[in-house]
Structure 1
Amino acid sequence: MSVAEVAEFNLILSDAEVKLSEVAQEKMLGLLKDADDEIEAIRVYVSGGGCGGMTYGMTFTDRRSDYDAVREYDKFKIYVDSVALSYLKGVEIDFVEKPTGASFVFNNVFAATGGSGACGACGSASGGCA
């Protein structure tokens, strides 16, 4: 494979890749204000897998790696590493408050992989999750 055939990793995130709703931006900014001084960004990550699909989350970070793409907002940044980005492209992160609680919500997370988030033939005779 030649150098021309290798896809270049873009270090700057666009809204088409990872988008934060206005409400999510406000909540993240509030959380960062309460964080330790050495925290420089919020890392969006992907972990796990299996029958229920990937797990999406966020955590504070005090450093950026060479493999992180960054999105700068007015008063904070988010980092997403290149592997996580391949699962997150097209996601919108929102913050939703309901009577049962409040949380960040990852909308459209299966756009990049073509999945549905539904359980398939994962360990039971009927094709559902055991």
Structure 2
Amino acid sequence: MSAVIDFSDKLTNEDIIITPAAREVMGKLFADVDDDEITAIRVFVSGGGCSGMTYGMTFTGERFDHDKVMQADGFDVFIDSFAYNYLKGVEIDYVENGMNGASFVFNNVFASTGGSGACGGCGGA
């Protein structure tokens, strides 16, 4: 007998938290896009190794079969199932740092993977 896996494409605030400050800026950036093919903001994960994973966002016009979707005010957020494994429980915030400018910040990025952020000693110098 084979097991049936129930896949939900809905993202909730329990899966990933987007702070009000981040939602506001994401909404403004999305509204400024002058391309009818852009339908959402994709949150992604890439990289690995000693420098850790890289977390980011980009505009997208393509939704994949295993994307999870969060509906926000005026835009959608897509996260593919691979990235979701690293992003579950993450908080995306927008922080203004005075002279250093402003940026999106991913908080609690190690919560879902149990990592510590420390290098495991791969031998690189």
Question: Shared topology, TM-score over 0.5?
Answer: yes
Q: Structure 2: which 5+ runs fail to align?
A: none
How many Å separate the matches in 2 of 1:9 and 1:93?
24
What secondary structure, in the 3-state scheme, does the structure 2 residue paired with 1:79 have?
A: strand
Identity rate of aligned residues, in percent? 59
Q: Give 1:19 shift.
A: 1.1
Aligned CA-pair RMSD:
1.3
Report the TM-score when normalising by structure 2: 0.92
What secondary structure, in the 3-state scheme, does the structure 2 residue paired with 1:63 have?
A: coil
Q: In the alignment, which residue of structure 2 is the partner of 1:127? A: none
What secondary structure, in the 3-state scheme, does the structure 1 residue paired with 2:23 have?
A: helix
Q: Give 1:9 shift.
A: 2.1
How many equivalent pairs are there?
123
Q: In the alignment, which residue of structure 2 is the partner of 1:115? A: 115
How many Å separate the matches in 1 of 2:7 and 2:50?
29
Deviation >3 Å, runs of 4+: none
Deviations 1:10-39 (A, max 9, x none): 100011211100000000011011112321
Report the TM-score when normalising by structure 1: 0.89
Q: Structure 1: which 5+ runs fail to align?
A: 125-129
What secondary structure, in the 3-state scheme, does the structure 2 residue paired with 1:51 have?
A: helix
Q: After superposition, where does 1:74-89 map in structure 2 within 5 Å? A: 74-89=73-88
